[in-house]
Amino acid sequence: MIAVYDSGIGGTSVLKAIRDLDSHVDIIYLADQARCPYGNRPVADIRQIALGCANWLIRQGAQPVVVACNTASAAALHQMRQHHPETPFVGMVPAVKPAVQQTQHGVIGVMATAATLKGDLYHEVTQRFAHDVQVVGQDCHGLVDLVEAGQLHGAATDAAVAAHVAPLIQAGADVLVLGCTHYPFLRESISRAAPHVTIIDPAPAVARHTLTVAAPLTQSQPRGRTIYYTTGSASHLAWQINALGLPVGETTHVAVEELI
């Protein structure tokens, strides 16, 4: 059983990509919606929260653990691997590498949360892959809340998205990296704000990698189940699953106190 974890509904962009490639694997999804968004919390808090979530998923017998949250990966992926050397983890890092390959102007924009942009993983990939390319990060605060509320379309969403995209376009970016797993759900609005720009959603690549990691671990009788847990409201999550056209599955509440 593959575990997929995010602060909220965003990681389902990765879950959906996994399901598109493989209808048989069992997937357990944890949305920590009681504590979402993570992006503006202190790194130490995010780390503690994310480690608790990973511990709980591992106690459910799931592996690999896909940290389908750039913010949690930035804060805690390294520590998760240290605490659980026997568990394979798949993390999210802003897709700077493919963006560098695709830019023609030599400027790429990274849309992400404040914590992701402050994190070491982002600086490592930028230093490693962006030699002659300028990388401009934009803290897109507010966008996670719009996705959680199901406000994917409309004038207010377009305005919020445009306000974050404009500085990147002004800086000359011709490639935008979706550095938060919630943002693929705003893709239409982002495309409208950046009409001639290449948009990179890393979910399909992460899904392919996840299935490669999961292949040797897969149990004998996978049944194609998708099981959702949330620290928030199970009925709101069920509504979101339906509204976003996500794989069908039962939704259950889990108390924050259990995620330690």
Question: Cβ 251 to ligand DGL, closest distance in Å?
Answer: 18
* 226 part of the interface to ligand DGL, by CB under 6 A: no
Nearer to ligand DGL, 63 or 71 (CB): 71
Q: Are 212 and 21 in contact (CB under 8 A)?
A: no
Q: Are 186 and 192 in contact (CB under 8 A)?
A: no
Using CB under 6 A, which of 33, 39, 47, 89 touches ligand DGL?
A: 39
Beta bridge partners of 253: 230
- How many whole angstroms separate alpha carbon 165 and alpha carbon 185? 15
Nearer to ligand DGL, 12 or 251 (CB): 12
- How many whole angstroms separate alpha carbon 56 and alpha carbon 36? 17
Nearer to ligand DGL, 36 or 174 (CB): 36
User: Which residues ranging from 121 to 180 are in contact with ligand DGL (CB under 6 A)?
Assistant: 144, 180
Element (H, E) at 238: helix 234-243
Question: Cβ 110 to ligand DGL, closest distance in Å?
Answer: 12
* 10 part of the interface to ligand DGL, by CB under 6 A: yes
Binding piece for ligand DGL, criterion CB under 6 A, among 32-40, 50-58, 158-166, 200-208: 32-40
Amino acid letter for position 84: H
Nearer to ligand DGL, 111 or 174 (CB): 111
Question: Cβ 16 to ligand DGL, closest distance in Å?
Answer: 14
Closest by alpha carbon to 114, among 37, 14, 203?
37
Nearer to ligand DGL, 113 or 251 (CB): 113
Question: Cβ 137 to ligand DGL, closest distance in Å?
Answer: 13
Question: Cβ 71 to ligand DGL, closest distance in Å?
Answer: 4
User: Cis omega (within 30 of 0) on the bond before 37?
Assistant: yes
The catalytic residue positions are 69, 180
* 91 part of the interface to ligand DGL, by CB under 6 A: no
Angle at 182 between CA 172 and CA 236, to 5 degrees: 155
Binding piece for ligand DGL, criterion CB under 6 A, among 20-28, 31-39, 118-126, 184-192: 31-39
Sequence-separated (6 or more) residues with CB below 8 Å from residue 191? 197, 199
Q: Are 214 and 64 in contact (CB under 8 A)?
A: yes
Cα dihedral sign, 159-164-13-62 = negative
Q: How many residues bind ligand DGL (CB under 6 A)?
A: 17
Element (H, E) at 226: strand 226-230
* 38 part of the interface to ligand DGL, by CB under 6 A: yes
List of residues contacting ligand DGL (CB under 6 A): 6-8, 10, 36-39, 69-71, 113, 116, 144, 180-182
